[in-house]
Structure 1
Amino acid sequence: MKILVIGGTGHVGTFLVKQLLAQGHDVVIGSRGKTIVPEGSPLYNAKQVVSNSADPESLKDMAEDRYEVVIDFPGTAYNTYKAFRDTASHVIACGSLWMFGYPHVVPTPEIRQEKCPFEGYENRYIQIQEMIGDSGKHRAVFTAIMLPNICGPGKKPLETMGGRDINVHRALKEGKPVYLPDGPEALIGPCDAEDIANLFALAVNNRTAAAGQIFNAGSAYSVTASRFVDIYSDIYDVKIPIEKVSWQHYIDEISPGIDNWWHFYAHMQPDISKAQCLLGYYPAYTPEETLERAVRWMFDQKLL
């Protein structure tokens, strides 16, 4: 199949393009042209086109080249779907588990829990619902895949402050204390980018089963915040002390941004049973394994 991957040079996109090329698909990467793919990279065998998916006119021009499948990673799926729904046969969007709002059910199914506190995600979720309702009314069907915390080689992994700060990782490597909020602990669900890419590939190759569906990607299980710290202790081979502080102190002084402290407030354990049943999705890496792969990548990149 001829497949357009918008954002194909990103973290998950890189793994997906490799998989699709290995399966024999004709893959085109759509990007702003800021990432240079070196000769010898597996992505070098994919054609590249310069595009701006935030610009509907740019997408209309791209839609003149007939693609069977179009995948949108940058969060511009609403533009992409409208541009390609009459020419492509399948449009697949990347979403986030956080779009479902604070989880009242764990593992969390592909069902709205409450309003998402992040405006951008909230708006995109409303758009996803509209596209799900429109799926199949034109030539294209629509699928959304909701991501948990993305981990694995290719990007700095989530650290114990809820960000991806290399200085925090250096402190973890040195065994510096970690502060966590007191009380019941949230579940954290690192999922390998390669596993996430595999779910996208399964949706590509199973159009009928994926049509009009929202699927969760995720690891087989999640870990508590304390276990998350202990995994880093094991990886760095150092004892990392944990000190508990009140929630108010934590969000005021330790990790004041909601983008960060939400990781330690809201459970991230997606229910992946629908993807398993309909698409045959089974993650290959545990949270421990994907974090170790990510740390090894940081060492290989001389970040640590």
Structure 2
Amino acid sequence: MRVVIIGATGHIGGYLVPRLVHAGHDVVAVSRGRRAPYREDLAWKSIETVTLDREAEDRAGTFGTRIAELGADVVIDLVCFTRDAAQQLVEALRDTGALLVHCGSIWVHGASAAVPTRENEAREAFGQYGVGKSEIEAYLRDEYEQSGFRSIELHPGHISGPGWAVINPAGNLDLTVWEALAAGATVTLPHLGLETVHHVHADDVAQAFERAIDAPAAALGRSFHVVSERAVTLRGYAQEVASWFGREAVLAFASFEEFRTVVGQGNADVTSDHVSRSPSMSIELAREVLGYDPQHTSFEAVHEALGWLDAHGEVDLGTGLVRDTPAGT
């Protein structure tokens, strides 16, 4: 099939483009052209590339038309954040017969009431990002039910892998947390450290998008979680990471206001975004309908990411990672 990927050089695209090329698809990679892919692969030499500034094209009302003109059988949209942007694309694709596979987020759910959270749970999104993704999801579902426009929605968790910082055991992106755990220094966690985060390796997200292309009719108009098999608590996460350096985690626990004082406003705000949701998502439906089969646990995805950060001088882990194979979770 001819597959157009919008946002092809990002975290997911670095794995998805090679997957689709090796599977025999004709791939068109659409991006702003401002950065190279996160992963090198010979597959990038055999694709068509299109440079588009989505924000500018959306403002001009031309983005959807530009994508439709590429003649795709499938359009994978990895960088859509508003209902208006989704509507422009849908209207342009409506008469082409193309399948739209959209990248959402587990943040459409807001805070979990019971875990693991299933796809059919009520949406109680909050925050600009989560609300925007929730509005897109509702719009695409309504379009399928009312006009038959074919779409599938995939909701990744925190996308992790080599090449970028990932959410750490304090629920934020502060690289010094890894260094503290490696050195046996104290790491402060909010509350009792029992809030959860749910990672997913970027290649497992790519796997889900690849499977969605060939998904059965039962997948149309529906949403699927794309995460590792199990979420992790902040406390357990910290203990696991410390064990990679042959240590026990040295942890302190604080009220959130105290935590904010210790880690700073910016880090605390990122932590708040995560612990206020504390996701723990079910992948039962994705397994059943799409055949999704994650190949990385949360800890394995983080271990690989941390190894890359260490190898590229982004963090100072002293003697480096001791254990090569994280415990399963």
Q: Are 1:161 and 2:166 counterparts?
A: no
Answer yes or no: is the 8 Å Cα contact 1:186–1:224 preserved in 2.
yes
Q: Are 1:300 and 2:311 counterparts?
A: yes
Structure 1 distance, partners of 2:209, 2:49, is 20
* Per-residue deviation, 1:216: 0.4
CA RMSD in angstroms, aligned pairs only: 2.3
Structure 1's unaligned 5+ residue stretches are none
Compared CA separation, residues 183 and 160, structure 1 to 2 (3 A)? closer
Structure 2 distance, partners of 1:164, 1:44, is 33
Answer yes or no: is the 8 Å Cα contact 2:193–2:253 preserved in 1.
no
Structure 2 distance, partners of 1:80, 1:275, is 25
Partner of 2:11: 11
* Per-residue deviation, 1:138: 5.4
Letter of the aligned partner of 2:259 in structure 1?
Answer: Y
Partner of 1:60: 65
Aligned residue among 279, 282, 291 for 1:280: 291
Answer yes or no: is the 8 Å Cα contact 1:190–1:290 preserved in 2.
yes
Structure 2 distance, partners of 1:122, 1:162, is 21
* Per-residue deviation, 1:140: 4.2
Structure 1 distance, partners of 2:311, 2:45, is 22
Q: How does 1:49-128 map to 2 (within 5 A)?
A: 49-54=50-55, 55=58, 56-76=61-81, 78=86, 79-113=88-122, 115-128=124-137
Answer yes or no: is the 8 Å Cα contact 1:181–1:247 preserved in 2.
yes
Letter of the aligned partner of 1:121 in structure 2?
Answer: G
Structure 2 distance, partners of 1:15, 1:39, is 10
Identify which range, 123-132 or 64-73, moves more after superposition: 123-132
Aligned residue among 277, 296, 302 for 1:266: 277
* Per-residue deviation, 1:251: 4.3
Identify which range, 38-47 or 236-245, moves more after superposition: 38-47
* Per-residue deviation, 1:223: 1.6
Letter of the aligned partner of 2:203 in structure 1?
Answer: E
Structure 1 distance, partners of 2:234, 2:181, is 14
Compared CA separation, residues 293 and 185, structure 1 to 2 (3 A)? same
Structure 2 distance, partners of 1:215, 1:302, is 36
Answer yes or no: is the 8 Å Cα contact 1:90–1:207 preserved in 2.
no
CA distances 1:104-132 after superposition (whole Å, capped 9, x unpaired): 02111113545322123213312211111
Answer yes or no: is the 8 Å Cα contact 2:143–2:149 preserved in 1.
no
* Per-residue deviation, 1:167: 3.7
Letter of the aligned partner of 2:224 in structure 1?
Answer: F
- Secondary structure at the aligned position of 1:83 is classed as helix
* Per-residue deviation, 1:17: 0.9
Partner of 1:35: 35
Letter of the aligned partner of 1:47 in structure 2?
Answer: E
Answer yes or no: is the 8 Å Cα contact 2:144–2:221 preserved in 1.
yes
Answer yes or no: is the 8 Å Cα contact 1:72–1:80 preserved in 2.
no
* Per-residue deviation, 1:137: 5.6
* Per-residue deviation, 1:36: 3.3
Answer yes or no: is the 8 Å Cα contact 1:4–1:28 preserved in 2.
yes
Aligned length: 304
Answer yes or no: is the 8 Å Cα contact 2:105–2:133 preserved in 1.
no
CA distances 1:128-154 after superposition (whole Å, capped 9, x unpaired): 111111127657401111111111223
- Secondary structure at the aligned position of 2:104 is classed as strand
Identify which range, 136-145 or 220-229, moves more after superposition: 136-145
Structure 1 distance, partners of 2:245, 2:46, is 37
Answer yes or no: is the 8 Å Cα contact 1:221–1:286 preserved in 2.
yes
- Secondary structure at the aligned position of 1:143 is classed as strand
Answer yes or no: is the 8 Å Cα contact 2:2–2:73 preserved in 1.
yes
Answer yes or no: is the 8 Å Cα contact 1:14–1:43 preserved in 2.
no
Structure 2 distance, partners of 1:103, 1:292, is 26
Answer yes or no: is the 8 Å Cα contact 1:251–1:261 preserved in 2.
no
Poorly superposed stretches of 4+, deviation over 6 Å: none
Aligned residue among 130, 136, 152 for 2:161: 152
Answer yes or no: is the 8 Å Cα contact 2:188–2:252 preserved in 1.
yes
Answer yes or no: is the 8 Å Cα contact 1:180–1:242 preserved in 2.
yes
Q: How does 1:221-260 map to 2 (within 5 A)?
A: 221-251=230-260, 253-254=262-263, 256=265, 257-260=268-271
After TM superposition, the score normalised by the length of structure 2 is 0.84
Structure 1 distance, partners of 2:228, 2:79, is 22
* Per-residue deviation, 1:39: 8.0
Letter of the aligned partner of 1:98 in structure 2?
Answer: W
Structure 2 distance, partners of 1:295, 1:86, is 45
